Structure 1
């Protein structure tokens, strides 16, 4: 309502049980100055308060050229914290979110495709794992 961003927090629930908590770790200035481009750290903790996973996204300016590989967002996944197990890399697409899930060597393991619009009022955004065949056809079409 005030357009002042606060740290995001997510609850991960499985079979009606609270399993993990995900909290964003950024300062007020960074969150509000850079908005959706902001760098952040997500900390995943279990119900005992132990940090089991960390996800880090560095700042990347995407204003110069949306299709430029160096301008696309990338998220590093560490589990346990400090031990990189993989990455999530954004791919340029005109109307939808497309990401590659990569291993620790940045080799593509799978692709995930989102809806054309993620701004549905009160609706869920569904992201689909692409089959290998769809993934390979998409690679050839580029």
Structure 2
């Protein structure tokens, strides 16, 4: 059995290793990390990523789990929440006049929380480069 590979979660973008996903590179790319799989939304709701949100004009766009852009009105966002680029949200997709729209949007994780968590995870699994030097660089004495 080969070693598991480091993949990127298709939902939150966090790096993860999963022994089941190393068999196929395509499957590993489309896979979700164990946290996203465990916290999957209810059947009528789906998870997405905020692409951008204009607070002044009160609208934005989400990237749904299937890759489609979904329009989001500010009135559909959970009261008291501010959406920012990179936030993970859960919503219901409905057909709008000009394409898919999000309803009943609630935040699941902020982009700041995800960045901090990802940095901690990467630091915990990354090799220590302090004494080894940078990849590709050579010690002058080794090349003589």
TM-score, normalized by the shorter chain, greater than 0.5: no
**Higher relative contact order structure (alpha carbons within 8 Å, sequence separation ≥ 6):** 2
The TM-score with structure 1 as length reference comes to 0.28
Quick check: which one's strand share is greater? Answer: 1
Larger radius of gyration: 2
